Chains A and B, each alone.
Chain A
Amino acid sequence: MNYLLHIIIICEIYLILALAMNLLGGYSGLLSLTQAAFYGIGAYITALLLTKVGVSFPLALSVAVFFNLIACIPVIWFSIRLRDLFFALSTLAWQIVVFSLLYNWISVTNGPFGISGIPKPEMFGFRFGSLGEFALLGGVITGITLIFFIGLHRTPLSRLFQGVRDDQLAMMTFGKKPSYYKALAILISSGVSAVAGALFATYFSYIDPTSFTLNESILIISMVLIGGLGSVKGSVAGALFYVLLPEALRFVNIPDAVAANLRMMIYALILILLVMYRPHGFFGKYKFE
């Protein structure tokens, strides 16, 4: 039962990340490689606030979201005017800069040793200590995120995002600024990633920089790609698929040392085959052309 609850919590965390990435990759057409950096900053801010300052969980969560909105301003500043490959490159640059900052700023982040002893979330006097309670909290937060994104994609704002994705020139002739909508998409996506980071930090009660590497960013992108760009259903399916696939491998009696590498190989193979033969993914409405 505990194992099942653990998988459910991991699913919830990755679902939030995939939804945030889908807004950028699917709806705005920006191949961002910096999602793990946003995720990591969110996790670190929450962890530091909970351990060093000792604020309550809701406050820490909202501060983390707010701080992430500020932290993605540099990304917006230097990558907003780039497109396609160069956008991916500049976000990759930011990902690596943030990673080395988390790794080397020892006085604040404790460097490679990480932050341990992060307390479980406590809301209105109730402590989400056990796995079941945490899964419930995660489920509520994921549900809110899901409803937020479904709602967002019904508003005219989402149409504008898609318009910028499909034809920038046409949007400019309508008097809309493409860079404004791109920046807005990055802001929302980064803020939502911080929520996932906060859940991650409080669930594992220990974080270190190796959870927020470039590989994590690639993993998040492949989740969205396999589910399908530009559909909420797709990113949910992609996240579930990517979390549940290695768990299925667990039942085939493969030793742990091999399983980690084998899992990455299967992910990579799926990514290659997907790009070659089905760029739309499961439920995609858009593909990178």
Chain B
Amino acid sequence: MTTLLPSNGRTFNQTVLTTRQTGQNLLTNRQTLLKKTKPPPRAKNEILWLPAFGTSRFLPRYKPTHEKAARAKFYPRFVREQKTTENLVLLPLPKTCYYNQSMLLQLIFNSIVAGLLLSAMAMGFNLIFNTTKVFHLAHGAIYVCGAYSLMHFLTFFERGSTFGWFIALSFSILFVILLSWLIELLIYRPLSRRNASQAITLISSMGVYIFLVNLIALIFGNETKFLNPNLGDSISFLNIIIVPIQAVQLLTAAVFLIAVLWISNSKKFLQVRAMMSNETVASVMGVNSNAIRLFAMVLGSILAAIVAILRLYDTGIDPNAGMGITLSAAVAVIIGGGSSIRGTIIASLLIAFLQTTTEWFLSAQWKEGMTFLLLIIVILWRTEGIVSFKMRVEEK
């Protein structure tokens, strides 16, 4: 009996006495004893991973009991008592409740990872938007399709084998390429031949988005899907906690960004730039405009699929996940200033920082609201974006 009891300052006799007096079983007694004593000091690696949205789940917090107490202290009764909805709505705690010495560093690190992912997405959007002049909302649908197709193809190959995984990855990327090619061929190209306005192409793109997303929801269901990367424990570096998938995200996004930047500096890319600035003149000068439109669609879609797959292993993907990130990418493109690729990267890092901070201090639901407030401010004060070139009046 002595071995079972905790050594928490009380003598053995007292413990036995209370057990006999109350007649309770040992377990409840142990609990009452534990309550009276101070909570044990927090172990170094004892971190709670909250199933929150976005990147904030990487931020360490206190154990659940403490969090519950803190929540009870800071929130009014009606919120506390909604036990069934507690899992649905994750209320953020005031910053005094968190414990992390290097909060700012962690925040910056998380926003850099999110920002690089967003900038890969935004780069694809930028390419498509500037070459085809379509406000490509269906980018979000392609993003979701990338993740779901990988999940679907993985069921054909045995889990765990690296070779099978890469084959599934290549199949899913092929699928995404095919999909974007079909969208371009069947919808965007006929519309551009008729010189349709951007508003009309926006509506058609919305139609494609709604169609694809609902098709996916019909086949795979509406719930969030995520895969476990099995990459080992998280690393602590400079008081920043790095989850392995974050490191993978950082590396992959960086590699793809560098690749796209390298492509955009190559000589062949001049044709794309010509197409971006003036399609008619470019096609008169012998640029194959259809091929370049297709190239932009395919490259952008591959980037979107890669980002989606990285997100699938991290926070998971549901059929409606595409809209939020596509709108953020679109805002990054507009804020970054038209066709400038550097501007897009800077703007997406800025937006990711804004979103991570908002998620940290307010709530995950404010994220998009804040992003669009930023867009409104930029539209009001600096319509041409952060990085912009001076144009002649006739060109505008």
Q: Which 8 A-B residue pairings sit nearest by Cβ, starting from the closest? A: A100-B369, A268-B211, A271-B207, A268-B210, A85-B198, A93-B372, A272-B207, A261-B214
* Interface hit among B57-65, B229-237, B374-382: B374-382
Contact A96 to B199, CB < 8 A, known contacts A111-B89, A276-B187: no
Bound state CA distance, A89 and B85, in angstroms?
34
* B207-224 contact mask (Cβ, 8 Å, vs A): 1 or 0: 111110011011000000
Bound state CA distance, A267 and B208, in angstroms?
11
Bound state CA distance, A66 and B145, in angstroms?
44
Which residue of B203, B330, B362 is within 8 Å of A275 (Cβ)?
A: B203
Which residue of B197, B362, B373 is within 8 Å of A97 (Cβ)?
A: B373
Within the complex, what minimum Cβ distance (angstroms) separates A35 from chain B?
Answer: 14
Bound state CA distance, A97 and B202, in angstroms?
20
* A97-109 contact mask (Cβ, 8 Å, vs B): 1 or 0: 1011101101000
Q: Residue A135 at the B interface, CB < 8 A?
A: no
* 18 further contact pairs, Cβ within 8 A, besides A31-B203, A92-B372, A112-B88: A79-B379, A84-B199, A85-B197, A88-B199, A93-B375, A93-B379, A97-B376, A100-B365, A103-B365, A215-B210, A258-B218, A265-B215, A267-B210, A268-B214, A272-B207, A275-B191, A276-B204, A289-B197
CB-CB under 8 A from B211, the residues of chain A are 264-265, 268-269, 272
Q: Residue B334 at the A interface, CB < 8 A?
A: yes
Which residue of B215, B366, B372 is within 8 Å of A104 (Cβ)?
A: B366
Contact A96 to B218, CB < 8 A, known contacts A78-B376, A88-B202, A276-B204: no
Count contacts on B: residues with CB < 8 A to the other chain: 45
Contact of A271 with B369 in the complex, beta carbons under 8 Å: no
Please, which residue of chain A has its CB at the minimum distance from the CB of B212? A268
CB-CB under 8 A from B89, the residues of chain A are 111-112
CB-CB under 8 A from B214, the residues of chain A are 261-262, 264-265, 268
Q: Residue B368 at the A interface, CB < 8 A?
A: yes
Bound state CA distance, A288 and B198, in angstroms?
9
Which residue of A94, A225, A287, A289 is within 8 Å of B376 (Cβ)?
A: A94
Q: Residue A90 at the B interface, CB < 8 A?
A: yes
Contact of A272 with B376 in the complex, beta carbons under 8 Å: no
Contact of A82 with B379 in the complex, beta carbons under 8 Å: yes
CB-CB under 8 A from B376, the residues of chain A are 78, 90, 93-94, 97
Contact A100 to B368, CB < 8 A, known contacts A265-B214, A288-B200: yes
Q: Residue A138 at the B interface, CB < 8 A?
A: no
Bound state CA distance, A90 and B377, in angstroms?
10
CB-CB under 8 A from B353, the residues of chain A are none
Q: Residue A180 at the B interface, CB < 8 A?
A: no
CB within 8 Å of A: which of B339-371? 362-363, 365-366, 368-370
Please, which residue of chain B has its CB at the minimum distance from the CB of A77? B380
Within the complex, what minimum Cβ distance (angstroms) separates B365 from chain A?
Answer: 5
Please, which residue of chain A has its CB at the minimum distance from the CB of B374? A93
Q: Can you list 8 residue pairs at the A/B interface with Cβ under 8 Å?
A: A78-B380, A93-B373, A97-B369, A100-B366, A265-B215, A272-B187, A272-B211, A289-B196
Please, which residue of chain A has its CB at the minimum distance from the CB of B330? A89
Q: Residue A204 at the B interface, CB < 8 A?
A: no
Q: Residue A279 at the B interface, CB < 8 A?
A: yes
Within the complex, what minimum Cβ distance (angstroms) separates A93 from chain B?
Answer: 4
Count contacts on A: residues with CB < 8 A to the other chain: 46
Q: Residue B82 at the A interface, CB < 8 A?
A: yes
* Chain B residues in the interface with A (C-beta under 8 A): 79, 82, 85, 88-89, 135, 187, 190-191, 195-200, 202-204, 206-211, 214-215, 217-218, 323, 327, 330, 334, 362-363, 365-366, 368-370, 372-373, 375-376, 379-380
Contact of B207 with A269 in the complex, beta carbons under 8 Å: yes
Bound state CA distance, A113 and B380, in angstroms?
34
Contact A275 to B372, CB < 8 A, known contacts A84-B197, A103-B365, A267-B210: no
* A211-252 contact mask (Cβ, 8 Å, vs B): 1 or 0: 000110010011001000000000000000000000000000
Please, which residue of chain B has its CB at the minimum distance from the CB of A103? B365
CB-CB under 8 A from B195, the residues of chain A are 289
Bound state CA distance, A222 and B195, in angstroms?
21
Interface of B is mostly: helix
Contact A261 to B379, CB < 8 A, known contacts A272-B204, A275-B200, A275-B207: no
Within the complex, what minimum Cβ distance (angstroms) separates B136 from chain A?
Answer: 12
Please, which residue of chain B has its CB at the minimum distance from the CB of A219? B210
Within the complex, what minimum Cβ distance (angstroms) separates B148 from chain A?
Answer: 14
Q: Which residue among A78, A106, A258, A272 has the maximum number of chain B CB atoms within 10 Å of its CB?
A: A272
Contact of A104 with B363 in the complex, beta carbons under 8 Å: yes
Please, which residue of chain A has its CB at the minimum distance from the CB of B190? A276
CB-CB under 8 A from A275, the residues of chain B are 191, 196, 200, 203-204, 207
CB-CB under 8 A from A92, the residues of chain B are 327, 372
Which residue of B196, B203, B217, B363 is within 8 Å of A271 (Cβ)?
A: B203
CB-CB under 8 A from A276, the residues of chain B are 187, 190-191, 204
CB-CB under 8 A from A78, the residues of chain B are 376, 379-380
Within the complex, what minimum Cβ distance (angstroms) separates A91 from chain B?
Answer: 10
CB-CB under 8 A from A89, the residues of chain B are 135, 330, 334, 375, 379
CB-CB under 8 A from B135, the residues of chain A are 85, 88-89
CB-CB under 8 A from B210, the residues of chain A are 215, 218, 264-265, 267-268, 271
Please, which residue of chain A has its CB at the minimum distance from the CB of B367? A100
CB-CB under 8 A from B200, the residues of chain A are 275, 279, 287-289
Within the complex, what minimum Cβ distance (angstroms) separates B189 from chain A?
Answer: 11
Contact of B369 with A96 in the complex, beta carbons under 8 Å: yes
Within the complex, what minimum Cβ distance (angstroms) separates A270 from chain B?
Answer: 8
CB-CB under 8 A from B197, the residues of chain A are 84-85, 288-289
Within the complex, what minimum Cβ distance (angstroms) separates B330 from chain A?
Answer: 8
Contact of A271 with B202 in the complex, beta carbons under 8 Å: no
Within the complex, what minimum Cβ distance (angstroms) separates A81 from chain B?
Answer: 9
Please, which residue of chain B has its CB at the minimum distance from the CB of A85? B198
